[in-house]
Amino acid sequence: MCLSRFYPDEYAPSVFAIDYQKLFDLGYRGLLFDIDNTLVHHGDDGTPETDALLRRIESIGLRVLMLSNNDDARIRRFLKNLPGVPFVSMAGKPKKQGYLKALEVLGIDRAQAVVIGDQVFTDIFGANRCNIAGILVRFIHPDPAAPIGKRRRAEQLVLRLWQKNERKHRRLHAVRNEGETKAHEADETETVL
């Protein structure tokens, strides 16, 4: 089986460690965000930090859209302070339909979009199927000391192979925010490499 279908274009330790200005400068115009374990821990409301981040991204000139397999009520709760942000609920990731609907909502084509999510087998796999760039972020875990499940272990294996595979087109190379990256480096090394 070809694992490259699960490879992201870039990996970042968190949504706060991505250089969004650089994404804009590279020509991207819309970001399709997963919510659960990407922006906040599963089921949590938006926080002042995530609200501020999404507002800052929009001020750069990037549109944001929430692309979630969860339902309307959950997404609206996350967006309670950001009612103008569009979303696609019950997206059925990794199926293509939700991603394509998101592009339609934003009025952009696939080459202008970036998917940001915490799951290799849904968020990133679906992005690759649609030929949309994908950034994998480390999943938010309420207790970093707690054991992780089989799926997360499989994801870490895919990530390790991706990091060794220089042939992978890393079209988003160096979109990490260097300052933020340093702060998360120890964590990342321990959990991913």
Binding site for Mg ion (CB under 5 A): 34, 36-38, 118
Residue among 70 and 112 whose Cβ is closer to Mg ion:
70
Q: Least separation, in Å, of the C-beta of 141 and Mg ion?
A: 12
CA angle 176, 181, 184 (to 5 degrees): 140
Q: Least separation, in Å, of the C-beta of 27 and Mg ion?
A: 26
Residue among 36 and 51 whose Cβ is closer to Mg ion:
36
Residue among 97 and 165 whose Cβ is closer to Mg ion:
97
Residue among 30 and 117 whose Cβ is closer to Mg ion:
117
Q: Are 42 and 70 in contact (CB under 8 A)?
A: no
Q: Least separation, in Å, of the C-beta of 59 and Mg ion?
A: 25
The residues, ordered by sequence, that sit 6+ positions from 29 with a Cβ below 8 Å of its Cβ are 61, 62, 63, 106, 108, 112, 113
Please provide the size of the chain in residues. Answer: 193
Q: Least separation, in Å, of the C-beta of 34 and Mg ion?
A: 4
Q: Are 118 and 87 in contact (CB under 8 A)?
A: no
